[in-house]
Amino acid sequence: MNVRTVSIICPLFNEEKFIERCILSILEQDYPQDKLEVLLVDGRSTDHTADIVRRYIEKYPFIKLLDNPERVVPYALNKGLEAATGEVIMRIDGHCTYPTNYISELVRYLYELDADNVGGVWNTQPANDTAVCHAIALASSHPSGVGGSMHKIGASKIMETDTVPFGCYKREVFEETGLFDTDLVRNQDDEFNGRLQNLGGKIFLIPQVIINYTARDSIRKMRHMYYQYGLFKPLVNKKLGAPATIRQFFPLFFLLTLFFGGIASIFSPFVLKAYATCLLLYLFISLVVGMMGTIRTRRFAVMLIMPYIFLNIHLSYGFGYLRGIFKLLGGKSFNVKSNR
């Protein structure tokens, strides 16, 4: 059997809480280490991320640390691609840990399915054992929070899809598509995969490959992340020439309905009743989801917090999307810094 050489690219910025676990999960892979190179691309972290990485570089020569002075993800990915020598390019994230068969399974399916990109599903875990962190993790992996994003909510069988987390690509894919778009602080994977599909590429989700993803540890960080997801989505749509999915519009519709429905309710009793009914239904669904979390974690506060968590996700994404539209219409720059 021909064992492919694999280049793993991992963008980093201030990941001292997570990077050691991530590296250890790569070192525990069942894939031959002499066929691997791990390129950790650091955006000049201000914590001890680089120091932790250097400790492992001393022991494992296939691990390398690259500099990313621009500090944002697409630049890191492109620097990794320029340095990579493998037949397979695999992106990972320092916020995650990976099962021991992660590399071997994805590489196997990449060629068995004659795919251009394959990826696994997220098992979203709380950053800490608090009610807020449990609620954030649950909302970030539930259809009521993230819609029909299959790699977040889970799938029962291998399926062709529009995007996967991180991605495992044949090297030649990048010769056709080019590199990652450096205009996109967020959603660069979505844009790249959309570009790949426009060229006839095939992307598959492999549900038996499970990535342990750690959710954000505060509502503020979660809110900022979803705001940026929404902000860059209109730019992605412009670059691709069309929206990739319908689900991306729901938070924007929710935001606009909340605003204009509230105004219209002042003048119409009928609209007021419909508006109040929708809000109560939203609250009810949030509490039911929160109750599931309460049963699982035995923390009553999870149920009480869940409506606020959902509201933050939906409004942050919706407001970001709206601002992204205005930026496009006004010809303004999307140049913002990422903040994990």
Strands 168-170 and 88-91: antiparallel
User: Distance (Å, rounded) from C-alpha 27 to C-alpha 104?
Assistant: 13
> Which residues are within 8 A (CB) of 156 and not within 5 positions of it... i.e. 6 or more apart?
207
Structure confidence at residue 50 (pLDDT): 95
Cβ-count burial 45-59 (b if 16+ within 10 Å, e if not): beeebbebbeebbee
> Is the Cβ–Cβ distance between 273 and 224 less than 8 Å?
no
At 268, is the secondary structure helix, strand, or coil? Answer: coil
Structure confidence at residue 336 (pLDDT): 61
Q: Which two tokens stand for residue 154?
A: 């889970």
Query: What are 238-273's pLDDT values in tens digits?
Result: 999 888 778 889 999 999 999 999 999 999 999 999
User: Distance (Å, rounded) from C-alpha 320 to C-alpha 53?
Assistant: 34
Higher pLDDT, 26 or 146: 26
User: Distance (Å, rounded) from C-alpha 329 to C-alpha 319?
Assistant: 15
Query: What are 167-183's pLDDT values in tens digits?
Result: 999 999 999 999 999 99
User: Distance (Å, rounded) from C-alpha 10 to C-alpha 76?
Assistant: 8
> Which residues are within 8 A (CB) of 98 and not within 5 positions of it... i.e. 6 or more apart?
22, 25, 26, 29, 92, 211, 212
What mean pLDDT value characterizes the chain?
Answer: 93
Structure confidence at residue 26 (pLDDT): 97
- Answering whether pTM is above 0.85, one says yes
> Which residues are within 8 A (CB) of 240 and not within 5 positions of it... i.e. 6 or more apart?
191, 194, 195, 198
Query: What are 196-232's pLDDT values in tens digits?
Result: 999 999 999 999 999 999 999 999 999 999 999 999 9
Query: What are 292-304's pLDDT values in tens digits?
Result: 999 999 999 999 9
User: What percent of the chain clears pLDDT 70, i.e. is strictly above it?
Assistant: 98
Higher pLDDT, 2 or 203: 203
Give the range among 22-26, 217-221, 329-333 with minimum mean pLDDT.
329-333
Q: Which two tokens stand for residue 8?
A: 């793993």
Least Cα distance to 219 among 310, 322, 323 occurs for 310
CA angle 317, 323, 328 (to 5 degrees): 125
Query: What are 223-247's pLDDT values in tens digits?
Result: 999 999 999 999 999 999 888 778 8
Structure confidence at residue 339 (pLDDT): 46
Kindly tell me the burial class for residue 162, based on how many C-beta atoms sit within 10 Å of its own C-beta (0-12, 13-18, 19 or more).
middle
**If pLDDT is split at 50, 70 and 90, which confidence band does 78 have?**
very high
Higher pLDDT, 185 or 319: 319
